[in-house]
Amino acid sequence: MKPWGDPARRMRLIALVVIAAALGAGVAWADADADAGDPWETMNRGIFRFNEGADRWVIEPIAKGVDFVMPDPVERAIRKFFVNSMIPIHFLNGLLQFKPLAAFEDLARFVVNTTIGVAGFFDPASYFGLEEHQEDFGQTLGVWGVPPGPYLVLPLMGPSNPRDTVGLIADSAALVYPYFVPFYVSASIGVGRQLNRRSLALDEIAAQREEALDYYVAVRNAYTSYRENQLRDREEDESDGDDLYYPD
């Protein structure tokens, strides 16, 4: 094994450095323009349009094919398998966020679902009352006090922000198996996972696209709110949403 000899791995390292620099820039930018919300909107909308095109002409048709061939329960089992396979990462992040109880509950889920749940295709752990905590490195950085930075749409990967982009790269670098298999194998696994997720969401995404007055803004709001909510871990929001619920 030459961990950094492979060009694909070297690219990943370079990307990490570039994104880390972008994070710094993003944070500075966010401070300067805190109220604007989306200072990169023009660029973001461009990338969003590209992603929508890619989805419409390539990803969605393939996902429809997948959905046609595979029954929904099978797709859901595959999603469970992928979620289970990510638990070691969630466990690590739970520890990094100083939440040992949540981390070990995740670990217990992993043990139960990998064994009794046949490699994670079934979810007996939920039946036993073990809850899942999907902690990722983007959230870990948030717990450590790193601000998200401006909203950022990544090519093909979709909605993000500088903090979550670093998180995404760190989490995929922490995955063990890609270091032991050829690049095209781990790439295919990644594609398979995304296609499976996409084929489970065909109707919902079509409906959202159809009904939104501004789909870009709808997605931006949903992503930002969802991530904030994950970071709060569904605890009570103390602000009472004054601006949202009492605008006058």
Partner 1 sequence: MAMISITRTDFRTHRVLRSARTATAVLVAAVSCLAAAGARAATESGAGARAVIAETVEEVLAVLRDKSVPTEDRIRSIEEIVYGRFDLCVMSRLVLARNWKRFSEEQKAEYVKEFKRYLTNSYGSRIERYDQQEVEIIGEREEPRGDVVVQTKIMGGEFEGAVVEYRLRNRAEGWRVIDVVIEGISMVSNYRDQFKSIVSSGGPELLLEKLRQKNAAGMAID
Q: Considering only residues 194-213, where is the footprint of partner 1 by CB under 8 A?
A: 200-201, 203-204, 207, 209-213
Which among 27-35, 142-150, 175-183, 225-233 is the span making contact with partner 1, rule CB under 8 A? 225-233
Per CB under 8 A, the list member of 36, 49, 61, 181 interacting with partner 1 is: 49
Q: Considering only residues 50-79, where is the footprint of partner 1 by CB under 8 A?
A: 52, 56, 72, 76
Closer by beta carbon to partner 1, 31 or else 237: 237
CB-based contact 227:164 (threshold 8 Å): yes
Closer by beta carbon to partner 1, 19 or else 123: 123
Query: Considering the rule CB under 8 A, would residue 233 count as an interface residue with partner 1?
Result: no
Closer by beta carbon to partner 1, 12 or else 76: 76
Residues at the interface with partner 1 (CB under 8 A)? 48-49, 52, 56, 72, 76, 200-201, 203-204, 207, 209-218, 220-222, 225-226, 228-230, 232, 234, 236, 240-241, 243-247
